[in-house]
Chains A and B, each alone.
Chain A
Amino acid sequence: QKEVEQDPGPLSVPEGAIVSLNCTYSNSAFQYFMWYRQYSRKGPELLMYTYSSGNKEDGRFTAQVDKSSKYISLFIRDSQPSDSATYLCAMSLYNQGGKLIFGQGTELSVKP
C-alpha cells in the first residue's frame, strides 16, 4: 500500500463546475500538506500549502486537511479550461527538507 493514495482519474467537468480532488494517507506523522499543479511537459508548480488541520483559501482554490481522518482535499470553484492539468497532492514530515511524498496525481479536464 502506498503512503499517499490519490485517484488518478481522469476527471472531466464542464466549465464553471466545482471540482473536488482528494488524497488519503497512512502516515499520521505527516506535518505539511501541499497541492501542486502540473501542465503537460512542465514541472509541477505549488498551488497550496497548509500546515496541520484546517482550511486555507486562495482565490478559487480551497485546501482542506483533516488529520484525524488522514484525508486532504482541494476544491476548485468556477473551474476554467485553463485549470486543465494534473493535480498532485504531496506531504512531508517535520524537518524532512525537500523530501516530499507525492500522490499519483489526478488528471483534470475542464470542457468549455
Chain B
Amino acid sequence: KAGVTQTPRYLIKTRGQQVTLSCSPISGHRSVSWYQQTPGQGLQFLFEYFSETQRNKGNFPGRFSGRQFSNSRSEMNVSTLELGDSALYLCASSRGQGGLNTGELFFGEGSRLTVL
C-alpha cells in the first residue's frame, strides 16, 4: 500500500514569490492535514481538509491556504513568501471515518522549502 506522497521534495524560492505544494494521501483516506516543521517552533498545525472542506485551521496568516480535491488529493499554497516561511511542510492523511479522527495520522516525507 503506497504511503503519503508529497511533491516537490525540495524547492528554493525568493522572498515575495508564491509556492504550491502537493499531497496525495493513502488510498481510502479522506482527511488530509498540513503541518509546518521548523527547528525553533517544532511541528505546528496549519489546516485540515475532509471531503473537500476545511475542517480545522491553525494560527497561521491568510498567506497560507489550501484545498482538497474530490479524489482527496490536497494542495497548499503560500503567497508572498517571507524568509521565516523556510521550513519542512508535512502532509498527513487519516481515514477520518464519520468525521472523527483519533490522531492516527500517517505522514509523508515532506517538502523542504527554502526562501532566499
Contact = CB atoms under 8 A, between A and B. Distances in A.
Given A33-B103, A98-B96, 18 more contacts: A43-B90, A45-B106, A45-B107, A46-B106, A49-B103, A51-B102, A91-B103, A95-B99, A97-B50, A97-B56, A98-B45, A98-B56, A98-B101, A98-B105, A99-B56, A100-B43, A103-B42, A105-B43
Contact of A90 (B32, B99, B101, B103): B103
Chain B interface residue number, banded? 20 to 34
13 contacts: A34-B103, A34-B104, A43-B90, A43-B107, A44-B43, A46-B104, A90-B103, A97-B101, A98-B31, A98-B32, A98-B105, A102-B42, A102-B44
A95 B45 CA distance: 15
B103 A92 contact: yes
A99 B58 contact: yes
Given A97-B31, A97-B96, A49 B104 contact: yes
A32 interface: yes
Contacts of A97: 31, 33, 48, 50, 55-56, 96, 99-101
Nearest to A102: B43
Contact of A99 (B48, B100, B108): B48
Interface of A: 32-34, 36, 41-46, 49, 51, 88, 90-92, 95-105
Contacts of B85: none
B4 interface: yes
Interface of B: 4, 31-33, 42-45, 48, 50, 55-56, 58, 90, 92, 94, 96, 99-110
